[in-house]
Amino acid sequence: MNKNLRAVVSLLTVAMLLLAACGPAATTAAPTQVPPTKAPPTQPPPTQPPVSGEPVKATPGQAVSMVLLPKFLGILPFDQAHDGAEEAATELKNPEALQFLGPTPENSVAGQIEIVTTATTQGVDAIMISNNAGDQIAPAAKAAVAAGIKVVTWDSPIPSAEGEQLFIAQVDFDETGTVMADMALSILGADGGQFAVLSASPDAANQNAWIAAMQEALKDPKYANLELLDIVYGNDQSEDSYNQALALVDKYPDMELIMAPTTVGIAAAAKAMQDEGLCDKVKISGLGLPSEMVSYTLNDCAPEFALWSFVDLGYLTYYTSYLLATGAIEGKEGETFEAGRMGTYTIEKDPTRDAGLRVLMGPFTVYDKTNVEAASK
């Protein structure tokens, strides 16, 4: 009995210590945050009129701590974006190392929230999120913004745009719809046919927007013979996507094409068709990485697919976030800035989200037998 009591007391003491040890000295101040005085005099004054002014240029060498947060770790596109961000970091001579932190795939939502919250506590200067948590990340992102941190999304935005200052859009979401509809038409031919969509997770804002844009594009009489049968979700897991692709084949015997607007889904679906010897019957298309798709394109399982460069997306995201975090741009509509090797960009309203602002990267590259080998190197 006494032993137990003592143990309970010691547990509570530890808990109390943990909660209280910090005392009044601890504040929410972010120790590593760059004070505004750090800005060198050569920097353009922040009050300059954004619309008519010259494109803002970055001042290299400023110390800003930045976190690049992918949807989760372990897939190639995010590693490529990381490479691009590192390239920009080197160019901008940022003395602070870039932190590439992501959750594990099965813990993506809770993990992303945890990383944003921890980064806020650490007092980093900018967090760059490829959001996989839908609006569930908004409270954590808002807390980050309230602590003076710049929150930039890339690849996949926060649907409500709450807690997000800018979205670096890889391509115009409407254009994605048209590109996918065009590829479907080109593969199925003028006679058309039936096809289905294999997407990532049901709450991935980017995929949902692209599918919606494609459905909108399909209303054009040009695509009248294309029939969209179903939309299924493989959750960006290879095995799920593989099984979903085969389930589609079983369910729709007349289906001739699976459109997968996700790099994981398209590769898994192409592998499924190849493994089952179905490539003559069911083609695969969508958004894929040349290095992962090259063999399927050459053996005609996936004759055409499209993508933008994730390296460029990471580069542009880092560049823009650096400009924001150093105060060179404020993240207002109409501001124009230079992003190193990629040229000049303007902040504009995001047509797919009422409250959002975006920087549009673009454009698409469509890959087929003629160019996929070169791109996969």
Partner 1 sequence: MRNLRRLKSWEGLLLAILVVVVVNNAVQSPVYLSVENQVNLFQLFVERIIVALAMTFIIINGEIDLSVASVMGLASCLLAFLHEQSVPMPAAIVVTLTVGVIVGAFNGFWISVVGLPSLAVTLAGLIGYRGVARILVEDRSIGNFPEWFNRLGQQPLLDPLPLASIIFFILLVVAVVVLQYSAFGRYVYVIGNNREVARYSGVKVRRVKMMLFIASSTIATLAGLLLAARLGAVRGSTAEGFELDIITMVLLGGVSIFGGSGTLVGVGLSILLVLNLRNGMSLVNITSNTQTGVIGALLILSVLIPNWTQDARSLLSRRRRTGHTPVTGEEKGG
Find the binder of partner 1 among 46, 60, 74, 351 (CB under 8 A).
Answer: 74
Minimum distance from CB of 243 to partner 1 (Å)?
Answer: 16
Write the binding mask 11 to 30 for partner 1: x where contact by CB under 8 A, - elsewhere: x--xx--xx-xx---xxx--
Q: Which is nearer to partner 1, 114 or 348 (CB)?
A: 114
> Which one-letter amino acid corresponds to residue 58?
A
3-state DSSP call for residue 314?
helix
Q: Which helix (H) or strand (E) holds 113?
A: helix 108-122
CB distance 130 to 70 below 8 Å: yes
Spell out the residues 6+ positions from residue 242 whose beta carbon is closer than 8 angstroms to its own.
Answer: 234, 268, 269, 271, 272
Q: Does 224 bind partner 1 (CB under 8 A)?
A: no
Pick out residues in 187-206 that bind partner 1 (CB under 8 A): 201-203
Q: Does 371 bind partner 1 (CB under 8 A)?
A: no
Find the binder of partner 1 among 50, 77, 111, 177 (CB under 8 A).
Answer: 111
Q: Which is nearer to partner 1, 172 or 350 (CB)?
A: 350
263: left (phi over 0), alpha (psi -120 to 50) or beta: alpha
Residue with tokens 């003592």: 6
Pick out residues in 156-185 that bind partner 1 (CB under 8 A): 159-160
Minimum distance from CB of 317 to partner 1 (Å)?
Answer: 19
Handedness of CA 29, 34, 39, 45 (dihedral sign): negative
Q: Which is nearer to partner 1, 90 or 121 (CB)?
A: 121
Rounded CA separation 180/259 (Å): 8
Where in 101-156 does DSSP place strands (E)?
Answer: 126-129, 150-154
Q: Which helix (H) or strand (E) holds 182?
A: helix 173-188
Minimum distance from CB of 189 to partner 1 (Å)?
Answer: 31
Minimum distance from CB of 26 to partner 1 (Å)?
Answer: 4
Q: Does 134 bind partner 1 (CB under 8 A)?
A: yes
Find the binder of partner 1 among 33, 43, 99, 186 (CB under 8 A).
Answer: 99
Minimum distance from CB of 132 to partner 1 (Å)?
Answer: 10
DSSP letters for 8-48: HHHHHHHHHHHHHTTGGG--S--TTPPPGGGS-TTSPPTTS
Pick out residues in 42-61 that bind partner 1 (CB under 8 A): none
**Number of residues counted as binding partner 1 (CB under 8 A):** 49
Q: Does 365 bind partner 1 (CB under 8 A)?
A: no
CB atoms within 10 A of CB 168: 26
Q: Does 234 bind partner 1 (CB under 8 A)?
A: no
CB distance 196 to 230 below 8 Å: yes
The most distant pair of C-alpha atoms in the chain lies apart, rounded to whole Å, by 84
Q: Which is nearer to partner 1, 55 or 123 (CB)?
A: 123
Q: Which positions lie near partner 1, rule CB under 8 A?
A: 1, 3-4, 7-8, 10-11, 14-15, 18-19, 21-22, 26-28, 31, 73-74, 99, 101-104, 106-107, 109-111, 113-115, 117-118, 121-123, 134-136, 138-139, 143, 159-160, 201-203, 233
